[in-house]
Amino acid sequence: MAAVDIDSAADPKRMANEAVVVIGAGQAAAQLATSLRSGGFAGPLTVIGDEPFLPYQRPPLSKKFLADRPPPDSLYLRPAPFWAERNVAFVLGTAAAKVDLHSRIVTLADGREVPFHSLVFATGTCARRLPLPGLDRDGVFSLRAIGDVQRLRPAFDQARRIAILGGGYIGLETAAVMRGENRDVIVLEAEDRVLKRVTAPAIAKFFDRIHRERGVDIRVQARVAAIDGEGSELVLRMADDTEVKADAVLLAAGAKANDELAQAAGLACRDGILVDAVGRSDVENVYAIGDCARFPSARYGRLLRLECVQNAIDQAKAAATAILGQQVSYDPVPWFWSDQYEFKLQIAGLFDGHDDAAEIGDAAAGRFSVEYRHGGRLIAADSINDARTHMLARRRIAEETNKAASAPIGAA
């Protein structure tokens, strides 16, 4: 889709008095724009995206899209006519480079200026970089965007052996796809188990076993000290003085909030833009939603920054209500999923702070759930090929954690 000519399309007075401008054209931005229009917002609405694509679903990038390589527009959340009918202007392929909160102007990387009345940061996350010499070498990739898949696919097609740095969801999903293509895969995880940051030991143990059974070489407490070599002859120098050879490397060591632009503009940030329960920052009419926002949860008794589709959608809806003057607070039971081989993991709630974990079902048969409790209340559940338990758990967690305000769950 061609970028709109904002200079000629917009009436500057109207832009300054009414316009909503969204920085970032991902999942949260798409929902915000949809909710604003369906909620009756008729003013100018502009979405600025640094990628050359309309808002698209990111989850398939490490799953079906990586495996099957359909055309990029098959990932679009909505086709171009949907946005045209709603009069949502997209400026794509250009980053917002500067935000002036006093003159209320966004300056794009190409120098164009976009005035706003309300501004929404929906800038998502980027791959967390490790302090590792050699990360910029040819043959080392990360996987967060369509462009990343387009860059890494030719190298992966040629690769016999792929090294994945990080045993989180993206690393393990990619490992599953690469085993499906019969490539040798080695996962190097610095922690003492895979999925350490995101799930409890029982689920990690299950996926560790499944991947090993399918031929993935998983090494835990494996610290890479440097990457040498180039192209298809990379050498990972390990902290224990051994080395691992690979034809291509995927860096999958987690994500970091894209909050630098907001920070430079003067907004309060702490690995994420700090917002309230409707997505408002500490500056009037400036909001943040989705992966880049950190918000207070009364339910979990702490500030949360979530990286999941559920959060991008529901927080965007809450911010839209605030922009429309209604203000419906957001305090979710988060949920997430991951597909690896024929296994679908569905996660409800947040497991940190649990004092009891109970397994239901048959892990050996590949269909089971783990329920996590704190003080007898269900706070989270992980389900593998067990959609019914997942759906029930979402309802039960919502009910049981509603009583949590006086007894916060988990770490501060």
Residues that bind ligand FAD (CB under 6 A): 23-29, 48-51, 58-59, 61-62, 95-96, 122-124, 143-144, 170, 258, 261, 290-292, 307-309, 312, 336-338
Identify which of residues 28 and 278 has a Cβ nearer to ligand FAD in the complex: 28
- Pick 24 or 166: Cβ nearer ligand FAD: 24
| Residue 259 Cβ vs ligand FAD, minimum distance, rounded to whole Å | 9
**Beta carbon of residue 355, minimum distance to ligand FAD (angstroms, whole number):** 27
Residue 103 or 406 having the CB closest to ligand FAD? 103
Residue type for 395, please?
A: R
Q: Which is nearer to ligand FAD, 59 or 349 (CB)?
A: 59
Shortest distance (Å) from residue 315 CB to ligand FAD: 8
Q: Which residue has the tokens 């462009």?
A: 147
Segment holding 8, helix H or strand E: helix 6-9
**Tokens (6 digits) for 345:** 């993991």
Q: How far is the CB of 290 from ligand FAD (least distance, A)?
A: 2
Considering the complex, state which of residue 135 and residue 225 has its C-beta at the smaller distance from ligand FAD: 135
Contacts of 51 (CB under 8 A, 6+ apart): 25, 92, 93, 145, 146, 147
Handedness of CA 345, 351, 352, 355 (dihedral sign): negative
In the complex, least distance from residue 197 CB atom to ligand FAD, rounded to whole angstroms? 14
Sorted by sequence, the CB contacts under 8 Å of residue 227 that are 6+ apart come out as 132, 133, 134, 135, 137, 140, 234, 235, 236, 237, 249
Residue nearest to ligand FAD (CB): 26
Is 66 or 244 the residue whose CB approaches ligand FAD more closely? Answer: 66
CA atoms within a 13 Å half-sphere pointing along the CA-CB vector of 40: 5
Integer Cα distance of 298 and 264 in angstroms: 29
* Rounded-to-10 torsion of CA 393, 395, 400, 404: 110
Beta carbon of residue 122, minimum distance to ligand FAD (angstroms, whole number)? 5
CB of 347: closest distance to ligand FAD in angstroms? 9
Helix residue spans in 191-259 (DSSP H): 201-213
Which lies closer to ligand FAD via its Cβ, residue 261 or residue 381? 261
Check if the beta carbon of residue 142 is closer than 8 Å to that of residue 250.
yes
Compute the least distance from the CB of residue 360 to ligand FAD, in Å: 23
Cα–Cα distance for residue pair 219/393, rounded to 1 Å:
33
Query: Which is nearer to ligand FAD, 35 or 377 (by Cβ)?
Result: 35
